[in-house]
Amino acid sequence: MNKNVLIGLVLILAVAGGYYQFSYKPAQEAAEAAAAEAKAAEEAAAKAAEDAAKAAEEAAAKAAADAAAAAEAAAAATTEAAGDAAAATTEAAGDAAAAATDAAADAAAVLDPAAFDAAKVTALIDASALDDATKATLKAGVDAAAADPAKVAEAVAAVKAALGM
């Protein structure tokens, strides 16, 4: 009987060894391979980061040199342009003042209740810098005034108030 027990025990040990070889051993080898791949990927990422930092440093140095050259060129161009701009500004200011005077006179003529023209008042509202909601409200008032002459003075007063006149 001892002989049968020993043979059974040897068979159990052989089966357990085979199970270990076919189950745990491949999993351990796969884990070791994955760890090696992760380490290689980490080293590659570190090298890529180092290369990127070096490239960024070189690009920054080149950009600084280019910016310095551009600044020198811009300074020379600015000096030349400043004289031209001063003359142009003086002329433009005169033209703008004349245009503003003309525009104010035109706006005053358009907003005269005695000479009310709904199309001209609407065009004046459209050309203003008012927000869209205010423009829509004023246009509705002008349209109502076009339909009912009794509302002309009220509509013109609202437009003048909105335009700050």
pLDDT attached to residue 139: 92
Task: Say which residue, 136 or 165, is predicted with more confidence.
Answer: 136
Q: Which two tokens stand for residue 143?
A: 């349209």
| In the chain, alpha helices (H) | 2-110, 118-127, 132-147, 152-163
> What is the rounded radius of gyration, in angstroms, for the C-alpha atoms of the chain?
44
| In 111-131, alpha helices (H) | 118-127
pLDDT tens digits, residue range 8-36?
A: 999 999 999 888 888 888 888 889 999 99
Percent of the chain clearing pLDDT 70 (strictly above): 85
Task: Say which residue, 107 or 119, is predicted with more confidence.
Answer: 119
For the entire predicted model, the pTM comes to 0.39
Domain positions in the chain: 33-101, 112-164
The stretch 63-80 carries a mean pLDDT of: 83
CB atoms within 10 A of CB 35: 10
